[in-house]
A and B are shown apart, each in its own frame.
Chain A
C-alpha cells in the first residue's frame, strides 16, 4: 500500500525552493527574475518552481526518482498497474493508447461520438476505424453509449480488430456497459481503450459509474484537469495488468516534450493526493450541487435536466450524476442559443450548448450563490426568450461511410471544392459542428447529401463548423482520385 498522503514531485519542488539552489540551467527566466513582467503576472511562487528536469527532479521521459514514485502512487489510487503523468493534454494520452495498441492497417472498433483527438490519432497510426453506431435518444437529441449487442456484432464481423474504444462517460455523462464490453473484447483477444476525459472522478467518488480500471479495461486516458482539479493540459494515462508499460513509454516519448512542465506535474501530484484523501466527500458535494440545480431547473418548466432516470440497462448503462446536462427542446431554443444568452446577457459562461442541450460544468470550485445565478438566469431566459416547444432539428446519427483509412486519405492528393457541391466525393479532412465537436466527416469518408443538410441546419442554429482548412468552411478538400 502506497501512502496517498505523499506527493513526491510537489515535495521535491518545495524542498528545492527552500534550499535556494543557484540556477545555472534552463529555463532562462531563472525562477522568474529574468522576466519581471511575467513574474508580476503569474506570481513569484509559480515562477520559482517552473524548472527543468534534473538528476534530483527526475525526468518524465525516463523516470527513476520522484516522478516514478508519484506515478506509482497515482497508479494505486486509480487501481491501475501503471500510471503516467502526461503534459500534452488528454490528447497525448489518447495518442499513447492508440499508437501502442493499433498499428497501420489494423482495426479499431469505436463509437462515432468520440472526440476528434481519437480520429487524429488514427491519422498518426494508420489504423482503420470500424464505427459502432452509438444509440441515440430522440427525446434528448444526443448520442448515447454503445449497446452491447452492437459491440458484439461488430466484433463478430471484425474478428481481426485489435481493440475496442469506449467513452466513459460521454460529454453528457452517459456510460456504456463497460464491464460487459471488456468481457466481450477480452474473450476475442482485443484490448479495451477508454476515454475518461470526463471521468477522472469515477475512481474516487461513491455511487458513481464504474471507472475503466475497475471494469478491467486495458488503458484509460483521464483528464485530471477536468473534474480532478489539476492544471489545464495535465492528464493521466492509466494501464492495466496486461499492458507493457515500458513499450507504452517508448511510444509516448515519440511525441512528448523533453521539457515537461513541473507546474503541470506538481498539479497532477497534488490533485491526485486531494482526490485520494477526500474525493468521496468532494464528489458527494458536487453531486449535491448538480442534484439541487436539476431539481430547481426542472421546476422552472420547459427545461429538462436529466439524470439517472434515463438509464436503460444498455446504451445508457449508467449516468454520471455530477454532470448537469439540460435539454432545451421544450423551450424552443437551441442549447447553443441558451449558451449565448447566458454569456451575453447574464455574464455566465457554461461549458457548451448543442442543438438541443447545454452542459453547465459543476465542480468542487462552485458556490451555491453561483448556482442560484445560473438557475435564476435560466428562469429569466425562459420568461423572456422562450418560443414554445420546438419542432427543432433533432439529433441525427449519420453513419459514416469509410472509403479509405484516415491516414491514407489525409495524405492523398486533394483539391478544394465548394462544400455544397461536394456530395458523393471522398473527404480528405475533418469537419465537425462545434459544439459538441463530434466529427461529421473524417478523412477518407464519403460526403453525402444528408451530411450536407445536417451541416446547414447546424450552422443555422448557431453552431460553428470547424475542421476544414477553409476557416469559413464554405469549401472542403476532397480526394482527387489520383495516386
Chain B
C-alpha cells in the first residue's frame, strides 16, 4: 500500500511526496498541522496542507534568511523572529556570539509544541537559553515596541494562512518602528514564478518599500517549495546588503554552513531579468 502526500502548487500543478508514515496530525486553533516521514525528504511539516519545511532542504531556507542579514549588520545583539514555530532560524542565530537575546513570536503554541516533539533537527534552536518564546499575534507583539531590535526575521507561512497579517503594510511599518536606527528586517518574500506567489511577492515588495528606505530582494533554490525558486526581502533603515557586507568579519566568526557562503552572498542579489522586470514594474 502506498500513501502519497499531494500539494497543489497551482490549480493545474501538483507536487507529490511518498509518505512512509504519518507522524502527527492536529487541527490547532489556527491551522491544520501535519508532520509525516518520507523516504526522499525526511520529516515533512505541512500547514493547512502546504509544505512548510522538509528535513532535507530546510537548511537552505534557514541559512539564507539568517546569515545574509547577520553578515551585514556590524553588531546584531537583539533579534526578533516572527513566525517560524519550527525553530530553524533560532538554530542558525544561535551560531553567533554577538547575539544577546532572541524573541520568538509564534501565534500558534500547538505548532511550537509539535515541532519541539517531532522535528528535532530544527527544534534544537529552542535549546538556546537566549531565546524567549511568545505565543502571540506578531502585529500585536510589535505594536507597542520602539527602537528595540537590530534584526527582525519574518519567517511567515504564505499569506493564505495565519501568516496573512505578516504581509500587511501595518505589520511592516510596525517592524520599522520596533527596529533601532540601523536595524534590518528580512522576510520570506514568496516566489516570482507561479501567479499566486508572484502576486503575493509584488504586494509584499510594494508594502515594504513604502516603509523602509532600503529594500533589496535575494533568492535561493528550495526544492520543496512551489517552482523551487524562492525569494527573500532585505529591508533596512541604513545598511546596504552589498556595500555594508563585511566578508572578513563574518569569516572570522568561523560559522559553519551548508548553503550560505560569502561568494554566494554577493551572487544571491543578482536576479533573473524577468524577476527584475516584475519588481521594477511595482
A: residues with CB less than 8 A from B are: 296, 299-300, 345-347, 368-369, 372-373, 375-377, 379-380, 383-384
* B169: contacting residue among A296, A300, A346, CB under 8 A: A346
Are A373 and B170 interface neighbours, CB within 8 A? yes
Are B169 and A375 interface neighbours, CB within 8 A? no
Are A377 and B162 interface neighbours, CB within 8 A? no
CB distance from B199 to the nearest CB of A (A): 14
A-B CB contact pairs (8 Å), 9 listed: A346-B168, A347-B168, A369-B162, A375-B139, A375-B140, A376-B139, A376-B165, A376-B174, A379-B174
Q: Which 7 A-B pairs have the closest CB atoms?
A: A376-B170, A380-B173, A377-B170, A376-B139, A372-B139, A380-B170, A372-B137
Are A372 and B174 interface neighbours, CB within 8 A? no
Are B139 and A373 interface neighbours, CB within 8 A? yes
Pick the most buried of A347, A369, A384: most chain B CB atoms within 10 A of its CB: A369
* A369: contacting residue among B143, B165, B173, CB under 8 A: B165
Are A368 and B173 interface neighbours, CB within 8 A? no
Are A373 and B168 interface neighbours, CB within 8 A? yes
Are B140 and A299 interface neighbours, CB within 8 A? no
Closest to B136 in A: A372
Are A345 and B143 interface neighbours, CB within 8 A? no
Identify 6 new A-B residue pairs, CB closer than 8 A, beyond the known A296-B143, A380-B174.
A345-B169, A346-B169, A369-B162, A376-B174, A377-B169, A379-B144
- Asked, given contacts A372-B140, A375-B143, whether A383 binds B177 with beta carbons under 8 Å apart, the answer is yes
Closest to B168 in A: A373
Contact with A along B173-186 (1 / 0, CB 8 A): 11001000000000
Q: Once bound together, how far apart are the Cα atoms of A57 and B134, in whole Å?
A: 56
Are B169 and A379 interface neighbours, CB within 8 A? no
Q: Once bound together, how far apart are the Cα atoms of A346 and B143, in whole Å?
A: 15
Q: Once bound together, how far apart are the Cα atoms of A296 and B137, in whole Å?
A: 13
Q: Once bound together, how far apart are the Cα atoms of A380 and B211, in whole Å?
A: 10
Q: Is B164 an interface residue (CB 8 A)?
A: yes
- Asked, given contacts A379-B170, A383-B177, A384-B173, whether A373 binds B143 with beta carbons under 8 Å apart, the answer is no
B: residues with CB less than 8 A from A are: 137, 139-140, 142-144, 162, 164-165, 168-171, 173-174, 177
Q: Which chain B residues border A373 with CB–CB below 8 Å? A: 139, 165, 168, 170
Q: Once bound together, how far apart are the Cα atoms of A368 and B137, in whole Å?
A: 9
* B164: contacting residue among A296, A369, A377, CB under 8 A: A369
Q: Once bound together, how far apart are the Cα atoms of A180 and B162, in whole Å?
A: 49
Q: Which chain B residues border A384 with CB–CB below 8 Å? A: 173
Q: Which chain A residues border B169 with CB–CB below 8 Å? A: 345-347, 377, 380
Q: Which chain A residues border B165 with CB–CB below 8 Å? A: 369, 372-373, 376
- Asked, given contacts A368-B137, A383-B177, A384-B173, whether A376 binds B168 with beta carbons under 8 Å apart, the answer is yes
Are A376 and B164 interface neighbours, CB within 8 A? no
Q: Which chain B residues border A300 with CB–CB below 8 Å? A: 143
Q: Which chain A residues border B170 with CB–CB below 8 Å? A: 346, 373, 376-377, 379-380
Pick the most buried of B168, B170, B174: most chain A CB atoms within 10 A of its CB: B170
Q: Once bound together, how far apart are the Cα atoms of A39 and B47, in whole Å?
A: 34
Closest to A368 in B: B137
Are B171 and A376 interface neighbours, CB within 8 A? yes
CB distance from B69 to the nearest CB of A (A): 23
Q: Which chain B residues border A379 with CB–CB below 8 Å? A: 143-144, 170, 174
Q: Once bound together, how far apart are the Cα atoms of A380 and B143, in whole Å?
A: 9
Q: Which chain A residues border B168 with CB–CB below 8 Å? A: 346-347, 373, 376-377
Q: Once bound together, how far apart are the Cα atoms of A15 and B140, in whole Å?
A: 48
Q: Which chain B residues border A347 with CB–CB below 8 Å? A: 168-169
Q: Which chain A residues border B144 with CB–CB below 8 Å? A: 299, 379
- Asked, given contacts A345-B169, A346-B170, whether A376 binds B143 with beta carbons under 8 Å apart, the answer is yes
Q: Which chain A residues border B142 with CB–CB below 8 Å? A: 376
CB distance from A300 to the nearest CB of B (A): 8
Closest to B138 in A: A372
Q: Once bound together, how far apart are the Cα atoms of A44 and B168, in whole Å?
A: 35
Closest to A345 in B: B169
* B173: contacting residue among A299, A372, A383, CB under 8 A: A383
Q: Once bound together, how far apart are the Cα atoms of A347 and B169, in whole Å?
A: 9
Q: Once bound together, how far apart are the Cα atoms of A364 and B164, in whole Å?
A: 20
Q: Once bound together, how far apart are the Cα atoms of A380 and B207, in whole Å?
A: 13
Q: Once bound together, how far apart are the Cα atoms of A373 and B142, in whole Å?
A: 12
Pick the most buried of A345, A375, A379: most chain B CB atoms within 10 A of its CB: A379
CB distance from B159 to the nearest CB of A (A): 12
Q: Once bound together, how far apart are the Cα atoms of A347 and B164, in whole Å?
A: 13
Closest to A379 in B: B143
Q: Once bound together, how far apart are the Cα atoms of A292 and B43, in whole Å?
A: 40
Q: Once bound together, how far apart are the Cα atoms of A65 and B257, in whole Å?
A: 77
CB distance from B51 to the nearest CB of A (A): 23
Are A369 and B177 interface neighbours, CB within 8 A? no
Q: Once bound together, how far apart are the Cα atoms of A346 and B168, in whole Å?
A: 7
CB distance from A374 to the nearest CB of B (A): 9
Closest to A383 in B: B177
Closest to B173 in A: A380
CB distance from A163 to the nearest CB of B (A): 47
Closest to B165 in A: A369
Closest to B174 in A: A376
Q: Once bound together, how far apart are the Cα atoms of A375 and B171, in whole Å?
A: 11
CB distance from B195 to the nearest CB of A (A): 20
Q: Which chain A residues border B164 with CB–CB below 8 Å? A: 369
Closest to B107 in A: A369
Q: Which chain A residues border B173 with CB–CB below 8 Å? A: 376, 380, 383-384
Q: Which chain B residues border A380 with CB–CB below 8 Å? A: 169-170, 173-174, 177
Q: Once bound together, how far apart are the Cα atoms of A380 and B139, in whole Å?
A: 11
CB distance from A272 to the nearest CB of B (A): 30
CB distance from B136 to the nearest CB of A (A): 10
CB distance from A72 to the nearest CB of B (A): 41
Q: Once bound together, how far apart are the Cα atoms of A347 and B139, in whole Å?
A: 16
Q: Once bound together, how far apart are the Cα atoms of A372 and B139, in whole Å?
A: 7
CB distance from B75 to the nearest CB of A (A): 26
Q: Which chain B residues border A383 with CB–CB below 8 Å? A: 173, 177
